[in-house]
Structure 1
Amino acid sequence: MIEHRVAVAVLASGGRVLMCHRRADRSWYPDVWDFPGGHLEDGETAADCARRECGEELGIDAGPAHRELARWVERDEDITFVQLLSWTGTPSNRAPEEHDDIRWVTLAEALELTLPDPRYPDLLRGVLDPRAGG
């Protein structure tokens, strides 16, 4: 039974992607670099959730343009990765209770970080490596 329906927002600009470091005291995926995101509310689409979470966690207003990058459904998790293609505002850490750092990273830099899942490198390549169609 799916208990966690989550949308993850991928923001890319200038050959970099925005990553957030999850605090070590978080119960779910602690001490890893991840994308902003959170649990879907009733009746919310993954894209709507990703936009809402970016407002709450980063203080930006994401536009409607997006593309679904991946959906991972297993055990009790249903995680959708949504690339938001436009936004206004400058991302800043508005959720210090969740993240203790945020930063824009290149593909090479991202691959050096501790990531929450072994599938992340392929996902990152799809967004940041033009040869991968991202």
Structure 2
Amino acid sequence: MSAQVHECVGAFVVRGGRVLLGRRTATREFLAGAWDVFGGHVESGESELDALVRELDEEIGIRALRLQRLETIEGAQPVPWRLHLYVVAVWQGEPSNRQPEEHDALRWCERDEAVRCLGAAHPAFERLLDLALAAAAV
């Protein structure tokens, strides 16, 4: 029997050619201390979009008004997971850290800094970041 895949959503929150990242606290089970995009698990009965809108509100206090799907990446560690990634360039509210138990810092990053920060999260993030920045510029 195969392990259940954890369905997750995440967003590159982009403004003015920069992306907002959060540093995961040292106590997080997955990617502790790493910089990452915002998002989380899709709950039972929830759509990807509903989950992402909920997570962005819970984590950084914004209401996404325009979401564009980028693609899905997958991995097997520490458990099987699937991450559906989006870009959010239009929202209501000003991002702030509403869940300090999940993220101990937020940072607006230029492209090259974001690539360095995200390097530990997943090898596809550099290419996806470029897609997100291009999509947000349209």
Instruction: Give the shorter-chain TM-score range.
Output: 0.7 to 0.9
Taking only aligned residues, the RMSD between alpha carbons, in angstroms, comes to 1.9
Q: Which amino acid aligns with 2:27?
A: D
Number of aligned positions between the proteins = 131
After superposing the two structures, state which structure 1 stretch, 4-13 or 78-87, moved more: 78-87
Normalising by structure 1, report the TM-score. Answer: 0.88
Shift of 1:37: 0.6
Match of 1:107 in 2: 111
For the 8 Å contact 1:37–1:53, the answer to whether it is kept is yes
How far residue 112 of structure 1 moved from its aligned partner, in angstroms, is 2.4
Q: Which runs of 4+ in 1 moved over 3 A?
A: none
Structure 1 residue corresponding to 2:129, chosen from 118, 124, 131:
124
- Matched with 1:11 is 13
1:1-134 superposed matches below 5 A: 1-63=3-65, 65-75=66-76, 76-113=80-117, 114-128=119-133
In structure 1, stretches of 5+ residues that fail to align are none
Are the equivalent residues in 2 in contact too, given 1:8–1:80 (CA < 8 A)? yes
1:83-125 alpha-carbon deviations (Å, 9 max, x no partner): 1232111000001000000111110111222531111111112
Q: Which runs of 5+ in 2 are unaligned?
A: none
